[in-house]
Every structure is written in C-alpha cells, then in structure tokens.
Amino acid sequence: MKIKRALLSVSDKTGIAELGKELAALDVEIISTGGTMKTLQDAGIPVKAVQDVTGFPEMMDGRVKTLHPKIHGAILAVRDNKEHVKAMAEHGIVPVDLVVVNLYPFEATVAKPDVTLAEAVENIDIGGPCMVRAAAKNNKFVAVVTNPKKYGQIIDILKKDGEFSDAYRLELAREAFAHTAAYDAAVTAYLTEAAAKGASY
C-alpha cells in the first residue's frame, strides 16, 4: 500500500525535518501539530495543520488537538471494510498511512529533583499514546514509527519499494506497543512513589 498521507507529531524532534523533506519529495501529504509543524514549516516543508483537518482548534493548552474522529478514523479505518470506507466518505475522512509520534518526556521530567506532582502530571502524554496505539492496532494498513533512529530505514524502504511489507508494519507495531507499555510503566512507578510520599497538588 503506497504511503500517501503521514501524520507527524513528535516531542523529540531529532531528524524530523529531514524525514519531512524526504516524505515531501515522495509526494506524501504531511499533517502535523504545534511545535512539530513549526519545525517542518521552518525547514520549508509543506505541511497541513491538524486543526485544518479536524475543523477544531487546538484547545485546553494543547491537551486536545488530535483526539478527533477525523484523526482517529483516518488511522483506525479498515481499508477493505466497505462500511468503514463508506463512513470515511460520508464524514470526509482521509486515511492516514504513516504515523510518526514520540511522547512527552515524562521520565526526564520526573527525574528533576524539584519536580512537582502537577508538573509531572502535565507531562503525561494522552494524544500521542492514543495515536500510537491506534496505528499499531491497525498495522495491516498503517505504519507507526516511535523511534527517530528508524527514520533513515523507513525512507530507504519507501524509496526502494514504495511501501512497507506486512512483516515490517507488524514489527513497527510491536515496537510501538512496547514503547507505550514502557511509558505507562514509568507513569505508574512515579505515581506509586508520589502517593507513598503523600504528594499533593
């Protein structure tokens, strides 16, 4: 399946401009959010804002931006299911074929000696894990990348083959679920310790 549309939304912006340039050169439409979008725009890469896709602005200090049917429907739609295809057509949902997401730096935040509970909680990513898990679940049709070290490899594959194999998408999905599992484990460990210390807001 040819990669036609990609969603890029990363906390760690290592290599994201280079990836964006390569995807644009392959005629992949890029949609993005906040700081990632600015990084891409500053590099002269054509990019469409998520809010222009959803029709809703980012709100609540960025807490709500990608949690929308036009994003999650685009990721989760089963492309060979007639009812899913019909729903996409009815609601103007355009499929996303590649999701490139990494998460808020929770572990780095809570490693600071003076971090407060409020600061720690604010750095729990919500939209990112949702997109990662959605793409990983629908790996038959969507590739998900959480590790910047993979960027070169995915571009090499796309340049050579124009698409990803089922086996490769499955491997990316496995990595993605491992990534979110480790993230949730770090959050759980911190909150367990905070509760034991009697932390409060």
In tens, the pLDDT along 4-51 reads 999 999 989 999 999 999 999 999 999 998 889 999 999 999 999 988
What pLDDT score does 162 carry?
87
What pLDDT score does 63 carry?
67
Element housing 30 (H / E): strand 29-32
DSSP string across 57-104 = --BTTTTBSS-SHHHHHHHH--TT-HHHHHHHHHHTPPP--EEEEE--
What pLDDT score does 125 carry?
86
Percent of the chain with pLDDT over 90: 63
What pLDDT score does 123 carry?
85
Is the pLDDT higher at 106 or at 135?
135
